[in-house]
């Protein structure tokens, strides 16, 4: 048996016999599957108990799944972007594979009679190279990559990225064609050499020097971004919404001058309590009052049962833009909150959503949704219903505009409202009456 085989047989046998499956756990809420958004570990990594292993997307929430134990990652069974069922084996552990490999690799030369120190060192290098190649191969397989070039060690891939080298074009000089860091450096040096210059005495075309500079070619390059994670969830839900619920949008304007005055008066007291008082709490308060008078807007349609479900609780979703995409945290029991309570809860939910730390339960159970472009601007919108709800209210920015009141032109703080409804449940007249009352409550916030 050669020293190289001696070095490898121990760890391989250990990994095969002592591997431990890690299955996608039940995250709760009766969910049956999750999408692998991002691996936080790689093959060969040694992890600690409770160390985050993977980001998983479920029902608009991205959660980090921690490791149940310490060990070494030997295999990633699924790739980023895969949707897998709860209970599926997504990763394999083994106890101390790296430790065993190191122990064998550093065995005193006396443990292998007849093997010289130089031969042992050479075998160690070969073992490390083969291990890197195996890890790189497994990592590529887990990520669904299709490689046309040789296998590269992870360190070589990192260096190639830093130097702007296409790793697939680099020929490997290591065992089995393994691409090493030296191979990457040599390739980078070869492509960075300046072109040959004309030899002394060569004829120079003067016309070429006199020609005007050519117009740069247009950039026709493209970039492809994987449709995965929250972006894919949004795409699927929007498709369901638009193909299931027949939408229509009703638009009206509202004078927010009294709300602006009241908000300005209340802001100092809110600031003393560490509360940021925006317009949204005033809008939600008026919205709940209008919903109580028009219950078919605070409802859902149970198609299987053939029933309209009128809800006597008021959980208002607030669409929130995040780096990952649009999320809809839900202010639950909005009818029982005062303005300061609403403002605090809106801040808590929106901050958690933007930080990627929002709990799954905070994204569920909504009965009506508000979406706002805020300070971005806009005049009106046609928002898409957050099914299974039957209506959504779109609001834009509040602007000072000239309006006619009692025959006189005055400047007022005006806001446009865009209400989209599911025509299977909400008729146009019902939507118009609802918006009329919403405008009434907003224009007289002290009532």
Catalytic positions, please?
Answer: 423
3-state secondary structure of 383: coil
Distance CA 132, CA 187 (A): 20
Residue 166: partners with Cβ closer than 8 Å, 6 or more residues away: 160
**Residue carrying the six token digits 């990763």:** 91
Q: Tell which residue, 352, 295, 425, 365, has the closest CA to residue 59.
A: 365
Residue 257, judged by CB atoms within 10 A of its CB (0-12, 13-18, 19+), counts as: middle
| Helix (H) and strand (E) counts in the chain | 11, 19
Calculate the CA 36 to chain-centre distance.
11
Q: State both tokens at 318.
A: 């607030």
Return the number of other C-beta atoms located less than 10 Å from residue 34's C-beta: 27
Whole-number Å distance between alpha carbons of 212 and 32: 65
The SS3 call for residue 417 is strand
* CA-angle at 140, arms to 220 and 86, nearest 5°: 105
């Amino acid at each position: 048996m050669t020293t190289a085989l001696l070095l490898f047989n121990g760890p391989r046998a250990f990994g095969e016999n002592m591997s431990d499956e890690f299955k996608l756990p039940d995250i709760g809420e009766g969910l049956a599957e999750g999408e692998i958004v991002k691996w936080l570990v790689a093959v060969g990594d040694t992890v600690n108990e409770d160390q985050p292993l993977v980001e998983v997307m479920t029902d608009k929430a991205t959660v980090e799944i921690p490791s149940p134990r310490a060990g070494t990652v030997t295999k990633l069974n699924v790739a980023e972007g895969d949707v897998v069922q709860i209970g599926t084996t997504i990763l394999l552990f083994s106890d101390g594979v790296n430790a065993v490999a190191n122990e064998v690799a550093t065995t005193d030369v006396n443990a292998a009679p007849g093997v010289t120190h130089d031969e042992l060192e050479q075998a160690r290098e070969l073992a490390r190279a083969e291990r890197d190649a195996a890890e790189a191969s497994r990592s590529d397989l887990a990520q669904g990559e299709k490689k046309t070039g040789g296998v590269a060690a992870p360190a070589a891939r990192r260096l190639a990225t830093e130097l702007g080298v296409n790793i697939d074009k680099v020929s490997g000089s290591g065992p089995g064609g393994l691409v090493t860091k030296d191979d990457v450096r040599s390739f980078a040096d070869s492509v960075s050499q300046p072109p040959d210059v004309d030899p002394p005495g060569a004829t120079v075309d003067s016309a070429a020097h006199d020609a005007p500079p050519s117009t740069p070619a247009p950039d026709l390059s493209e970039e492809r971004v994987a449709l995965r994670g929250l972006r894919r969830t949004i795409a699927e839900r929007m498709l369901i919404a638009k193909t299931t619920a027949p939408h229509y949008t009703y638009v009206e304007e509202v004078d927010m001058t009294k709300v602006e005055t009241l908000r300005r008066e209340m802001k100092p007291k809110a600031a003393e309590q560490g509360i940021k008082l925006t317009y949204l709490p005033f809008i939600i308060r008026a919205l709940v009052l209008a919903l109580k008078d028009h219950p078919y807007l605070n409802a859902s349609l149970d198609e299987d049962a053939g029933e309209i479900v009128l809800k006597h609780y008021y959980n208002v979703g607030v669409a929130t833009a995040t780096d990952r995409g649009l999320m809809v945290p839900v202010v639950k029991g909005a009818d029982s909150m005062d303005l300061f309570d609403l403002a605090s809860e809106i801040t808590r939910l929106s901050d958690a959503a933007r930080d990627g730390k929002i709990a799954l339960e905070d994204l569920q159970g909504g009965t009506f949704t508000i979406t706002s472009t805020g300070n971005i601007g806009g005049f009106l919108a046609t928002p898409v219903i957050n099914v299974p709800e039957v209506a959504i209210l779109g609001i834009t920015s509040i602007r000072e505009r000239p309006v006619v009141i009692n025959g006189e032109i005055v400047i007022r703080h005006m806001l446009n409202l865009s209400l989209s409804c599911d025509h299977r449940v909400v008729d146009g007249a019902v939507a118009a009456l609802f918006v009329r009352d919403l405008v009434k409550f907003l224009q007289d916030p002290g009532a």
